Amino acid sequence: MEIKGKLIQLLPLQTGTGKNGQWKKQDIIIETDGQYPKKVCISIWGDKIDASQLQPGKMLNISFDVESREYNGRWYTDVKAWKIDASGASGSSDEKTDDEFHDTASSSNDDLPF
């Protein structure tokens, strides 16, 4: 699955030692676009953590898996990222493209002979 949104918060980096050695986990909060924006907490594990891409305000495309597990009769769900791509600093570039399109259409109408 994929989701696109703006990184709004980096939670503290978690580290530890397990049966397979050292591990690290970075949780991030992104906010989706749309009429009803949603905030989603996504976990990034191990060497997939790239600090250069994880800057608040940055737009990200995230490929992820959703996994649930049961523990003592309760269910817990994780959203785990497996690929993160930066898609630009902000959504303003899309707006600029729309403005350029409208400007072109307006100038075309002015050149019509009737």
Report whether pLDDT(36) > 60: yes
How far apart are the C-alpha atoms of 109 and 36, rounded to whole Å?
Answer: 36
Alpha helices in the chain (DSSP H): 92-110
How far apart are the C-alpha atoms of 8 and 6, rounded to whole Å?
Answer: 6
What confidence tier does 96 reach under pLDDT thresholds 50, 70, 90? very low
Half-sphere exposure in the Cβ direction for 96 (13 Å, CA): 4
Query: Which tokens belong to 32?
Result: 């989706």
Q: Using the 8-state DSSP alphabet, how is residue 42 labeled?
A: E
Q: Would you kindly state where each structural domain of the chain is located, as residue ranges?
A: 2-110
Residue among 28, 23, 32 nearest 5 (CA): 32
Position 12 scores a pLDDT of 95
**Which pLDDT tens digit goes with each residue over 48-85?**
888 888 999 999 999 999 999 999 999 999 999 999 99
CATH T-level fold of 2-110 = OB fold (Dihydrolipoamide Acetyltransferase, E2P) (2.40.50)
